[in-house]
Amino acid sequence: MSHEEKYCFQKQVKDTMQTVFWDILAEQLNADPPSYDQAMVLLAEIKESLLRLLLPQHTKLKQEINEILDVDLIKQQAKAGILDFQYYAHYVISVMGKLCAPVRDDKIQELSQTTEIVPVFKGILETLEIMHIDMANFTIELMRPDLIARSIDYEKTKFAELLKIQPDGLDATRKWVLKHLDTVKASNPQLHSTDKDTIVRILTAKTIDQAYLELLQWDESMPFPETVMMDEGRFRALGEHCLRMTVVGAILLVTLSSIKQLQGNSAFKELLRQHVTVLLEEAHSNKDLEKLMPNVATQVIKDIDDCLKKIGSTELDVESKRLLSGQILETASPSHKIRQLVCTRVHEFLHQSIASPNTAPLQVPPGLSSLQAELTGVTGQFLHLVSHNRAVYGEYYCNMVASTLS
């Protein structure tokens, strides 16, 4: 049994057990006289769940919950036939309203207006489960700065230990960084009039920014730099994502420049983007693109015909379809001019994101507005990887540049 099948089976068992639980509860409460065995189990579980949501400073609320949701007292009320389930439901909901995140207010309001006993307690348990997830996320968010700092210190220590037992553990890294130094120096001649420490700091930052971008188009024949080896899979995945996104952007530009009557049709652009993106999901290299592009061209032509028909315009003739298909097939080549243009704009956007000293939102490059959401997502992942790597290994990069300049 695969992991996915095992998960589906476990979920099915869990759902079945929960359904049985609620069926038994409804049956017991509707009996004459009613039975509260299942209800006692439920109230005890709700009480424990509420208590686990409390913070240390919630001493009064903890005392109140223990007093009101006293299971022994509730059992006595049940035996005497005076148990008021609605009272306890309203109390639990009121406590949840005090503890929940604002985003759950609508759910709390919905629960407070539910009158049937089984649905209201089912809703209470489901909402409590969500509140525990909210609490866990909140705790992680509070701890995140400390966790990141500890992670950085740990990686620094472990890498320093590795360098002690490996003769030249930075050989590939040194070649990777310094291959960009001459280009950066040539494009920043004004730095020669600055003091040495400032020159090293600025040149290191600019050089490593260029080096990080190279990781997205890494030469497969070269060993990955030691300082980014832990994140090799992530950088390669981002590089493949950028490859697909670039080709999608190129296909959109080629198509819209050929079909003038659809250039202002936002719905068509979004539909085309979605279809092409799905068809290129399995593209991890230029060879993959060559195999997939005929299907892409066929889909693009179909989408164009469908949209032209929808707006009452004339469909493309056979020759126009042939020419456009050929243009789309050509985007599989890395030397395709429009693809190169899109690639340059994507990389410039990524470069701005890691080189910018502030967090102000960047302007999406011209012609790439249809890819804004995807481009922003890739940029966020890239920035996260780069920021962490720079924090851990920045000192090594700076020393490499300084020793080369001296």
Domain boundaries defined on the chain: 3-138, 169-406
Q: What per-residue confidence (pLDDT) applies to 191?
A: 65
Closest residue by Cα to residue 262 from 308, 228, 301, 330: 308
Tell me: pLDDT of 140 over 80: no
Q: What per-residue confidence (pLDDT) applies to 271?
A: 92
Average pLDDT over residues 286-293: 95
Closest residue by Cα to residue 50 from 100, 87, 14: 100
Average pLDDT over residues 45-73: 88
Q: Which residue has the higher pLDDT, 330 or 150?
A: 330
> Cα separation of 396 and 323, whole Å?
53
Mean pLDDT rounded to a whole number for the chain: 87
- Cα angle value 283/284/288 (rounded, 5°): 55
Tell me: pLDDT of 344 over 70: yes
Tell me: pLDDT of 194 over 80: no
Cβ proximity of 317 and 325 under 8 Å = no
Q: Which residue has the higher pLDDT, 337 or 54?
A: 337
Q: Which residue has the higher pLDDT, 337 or 370?
A: 337
Q: Which helix (H) or strand (E) holds 278?
A: helix 266-279
The total number of residues written for the chain in this structure: 406
Q: Which tokens hold the place of 393?
A: 């290994």
> Cα separation of 36 and 75, whole Å?
8
pLDDT band at 349 (very low <50, low <70, confident <90, very high): very high
> Cα separation of 92 and 26, whole Å?
19
> Cα separation of 61 and 46, whole Å?
15
Cβ proximity of 124 and 96 under 8 Å = yes
Note the pLDDT tens digit of each residue in 211-267: 999 999 999 889 999 999 999 999 999 999 999 999 999 999 999 998 888 888 888
Evaluated on CA atoms 77, 82, 86, 91, the torsion sign reads negative
Q: What per-residue confidence (pLDDT) applies to 10?
A: 67
Average pLDDT over residues 305-328: 91
Closest residue by Cα to residue 45 from 95, 86, 92: 92
Note the pLDDT tens digit of each residue in 3-47: 566 656 666 766 677 787 788 888 887 887 888 788 888 888 889
Cβ proximity of 280 and 292 under 8 Å = yes
Highest mean pLDDT among 71-75, 118-122, 189-193, 291-295: 291-295
Query: DSSP readout, 17-54?
Result: HHHHHHHHHHHHHHSSS---HHHHHHHHHHHHHHHHH-
Q: What per-residue confidence (pLDDT) applies to 169?
A: 84
Tell me: pLDDT of 308 over 80: yes
- Cα angle value 237/362/343 (rounded, 5°): 45
